[in-house]
Amino acid sequence: MAATTQNDSQLSAVPSYEQEQAQARFDAIIGDDSRIEPRDWMPEPYRKTLTRQVSQHAHSEIIGMQPEANWITRAPSLKRKAILIAKVQDEAGHGLYLYSAAETLGTSRDELNDQLLTGRAKYSSIFNYPARTWADMGAIGWLVDGAAIANQVPLCRASYGPYGRAMVRICKEESFHQRQGFEILLSLSRGTEAQKKMAQDAINRFYEPSLMMFGPPDDQSPNSKQSMAWKIKRFSNDDLRQRFVGMIAEQVKVLGLTLPDPELRFDEETGKWLHKDLNWDEFMAVIKGGGPMNSQRMERRRAAHREGAWVREAAAAYANKQAQSEVA
């Protein structure tokens, strides 16, 4: 048995006729802008890249529930409280579709969850910043969900079918999330001096981290090129970033507030928006676990998992007993 395995792995260095055919079919589907589906053959690096990306996205939805859940109990009106609960609940739903999409690539939800809890998988580093005031609910909706949408709308066209389709639904809901965030800031900006100050402070804190959500600059993003060739990704990090900053530069005027970026301007020559240099050292430090909230976010998730263990065990035991009694 062992000999055969070794033999196979050595042989795979030279693709078989079937493998070459499969690769050609895959390339044709990508070239034709059609979709790869779960039963189609796909190269292992494509599967691996997608599994990583889709599961990171799912983890981000789940961890991203925490900063907002932090304000549910203190929401300043019952209507805002209801909207916030609905939003956080949508995020749990997004996590569920994305884990399902990731599972079609052959990794189970338990394994993906384990990767998150043991720190082997990442989530969007913006959630490692604290939601310190109510205005952060506005800034997170407007800037963080806004950046997420700018990133995710092109993913509706991702070459992997289940991911693209999950993204269509998610983007529709995210669009409402962004608007509710903007509406929170709009109310604050038309409110008392203290409310206006709260809104400006939240924008000041979330501006830079939200721009960094698009990932490192193009010349420092080694995986982007392959993802674009596979049509998972359709636009470069910098391109999406400048597109987003242009949108918020206009929207902030409606709020009568400002973005903390004196260098922000539209460059007529290139037709692109320019912004200040971002603090990528901080970004890397937060990704590596050094953000203000990394430890708390992870511990909260681990605690929920640990404290729920007896419930999951009991549910499994009950399901087994039911299955046995049906057989008998």
Binding site for other proteins (CB under 8 A): 33, 62, 65-66, 69, 72-83, 85-90, 92-93, 95-96, 99, 134, 149, 153-154, 156-157, 171-177, 180, 184, 187-188, 191-192, 194-195, 234, 300, 303-304, 307-318, 321
Rg (CA), the chain: 22
Residue 19 vs 296, nearer CB to other proteins: 296
Q: How many whole angstroms separate alpha carbon 86 and alpha carbon 90?
A: 6
At its nearest, how many Å lie between other proteins and the CB of residue 52?
A: 20
Whose Cβ is closer to other proteins: residue 72's or residue 293's? 72
Of 24 and 316, nearer to other proteins (C-beta) is 316
Per-residue DSSP letter, 36:
B
Nearer to other proteins, 85 or 287 (CB): 85
Pick the closer one to other proteins by CB: 8 or 33: 33
Cα dihedral 269/275/281/286 (nearest 10): -130
Crossing angle of helices 294-307 and 109-117, in 10° steps, is: 130
Q: To the nearest whole angstrom, how small is the minimum distance from the Cβ of residue 66 to other proteins?
A: 5
Distance CA 247, CA 252 (A): 9
Amino acid at 245: V
Q: 10 Å Cβ neighbour count for 24?
A: 10
Helix axes 44-63, 109-117, angle to 10 degrees: 60
Which amino acid belongs to residue 78?
L
For other proteins, the closer CB: 243 or 276: 243
Question: For the chain, how many helices (H) and strands (E)?
Answer: 15, 2
Least separation in angstroms between residue 14's CB and other proteins is: 35
Q: Which of 289, 81, 86, 260 is nearest to 184 (CA)?
A: 81
Which two three-digit tokens encode residue 291? 């953000």
In whole angstroms, the minimum distance from the beta carbon of 163 to other proteins comes to 14
Using alpha carbons, select from 121, 104, 105 the residue that is nearest to residue 62: 121
Tell the smallest beta-carbon distance from residue 284 to other proteins (Å): 27
In the bound state with other proteins, the residue whose beta carbon lies nearer, of 4 and 73, is 73
Sign of CA dihedral 214, 218, 221, 224: positive
Minimum distance from residue 210 beta carbon to other proteins (Å): 18
Q: Which is nearer to other proteins, 69 or 274 (CB)?
A: 69
- Tokens linked to 31: 């070239």
Residue 170: CB minimum distance to other proteins, A: 9
Give me the least distance between CB of 80 and other proteins, in Å please. Answer: 5
